[in-house]
Structures are given as structure tokens and as C-alpha cells.
Amino acid sequence: MVRPSAAIIGPLPTRRAKPAREREGEPMKHLQRIALAGFLLAASGLAADVAVASDSDICFRESGEVAIAACNRVISSARSTRNELVDAYSNRGQEYYAKKDYDRAISDFDAAIKLDSRAILAHGNRANAWYMKGQFDRAINDYTRAISLDREYTAAYAGRGLAFEKKGDKGRAIADYKAALSVKQKYQDGKWAHDNARQRLQVLEAK
């Protein structure tokens, strides 16, 4: 049994955006294979495209300054597609979030959403950043938008429940925690959502 916690748990987890071609079903190339392809294609003038692909992978797979630098290169490249830019802004924002630089994280999530208003992860991750800044109404708005785009986004229900609880709205918080528990753990943050929703329900229902 999970022990109830008297404190609201944080920080909330963010989730990385996979490279666009991986989402579209193209098998991911190992970074060594990409480097080899870059060497072989250099003479044909296609090396720049391969470099962008490699940076997209690094932006997604790495963390810290290595990831930020790769995301920067994707964002500054004239060859990057819209989907690659959305992913790069989302993932760089996630890195800033991890550094607790919430303003820069929000700025990047804003940029991703401006490029794609249906960018689910950017909405969910921006909601987390608003939550950590104490901007609970804005967090609730973004969680709600994320849920409208993906009804199985378990962590968005749990995050919105935390925001409602911070605002003193016990009824809505309980409803969201129950909603989180009713949804299967579809994503890697699903276990976090279930564990925290269960803990908060035990605390609130014991009052």
C-alpha cells in the first residue's frame, strides 16, 4: 500500500517529444548509422540533411547542455521541418524545466504551440511549468487543453487535480484524481500519475 503524503508532490514530470519521423513509423537509425550516412552522402550535398536528423535525435535522446545545443541547431536550421521545430522547442523547454528555469521553458512551449496548436506534450509540459510557478489557473487551462487532445493523458488529470487542490477546490481535485486512476497507464508518466492520484485521494478522503 502506498503511504499517504500530507504534502502535495512535485515537481511534476514532463514528457519528451519523439522525433517526427519516429512518430510517423519510420524506424529510428542508430546515431552511428547516421554518422556513417553523413560521411557517405557528403559528396552528394545531402550531408546537411543528415546533420539535422542527427541533431533531432540528440535533442530527443540526450539531456542537459548536450540536448539544448542539439535543439538549438535544429531550431536555427533553415532545413528543419515544422514538426522538427515543434519537437525541438518542446524538448528544449523540457530541459529548461528540468533546470527549474520555468520562464524559458514556458517560452519554448509557447513557440511549439504557436507552430502546432495541437501539440499535446507542449500543452501538458507548459501546464507543469505554470504549476511550478504557482500560476494554477493557467496550469488548469493547459491541462484541460491537453486532456481535450488526448483523453488518455493520465498525468494531465493528476496535474490538474493537484492544481485544483492548491486552489482549495477539493471536489474537482478528487474528481480528477479518480479520472487519472480510471485511465490506463499509456505513457511513461502514467505510473507517476497513478501513484500520486492514489496518495492524494487517500489524504483528501481521510479529511
137-207 under CATH 3.40.50.10300, yes or no: no
Give the pLDDT mean for 63-79. 95
Segment 33-43, tens digit of pLDDT: 333 333 333 44
Per-residue confidence (pLDDT) for residue 128, from 0 to 100: 95
Please report the pLDDT score of residue 186 as a whole number.
78
Model pLDDT for residues 81-133, shown as the tens digit of each residue: 999 999 999 999 999 999 999 999 999 999 999 999 999 999 999 999 999 99
Whether 153 contacts 121, CB under 8 Å: no
Q: Is the per-residue pLDDT at 4 higher than 80? A: no
Written as one string, the DSSP assignment of 127-188 is HHHHHHTT-HHHHHHHHHHHHHH-TT-HHHHHHHHHHHHHTT-HHHHHHHHHHHHHS---ST
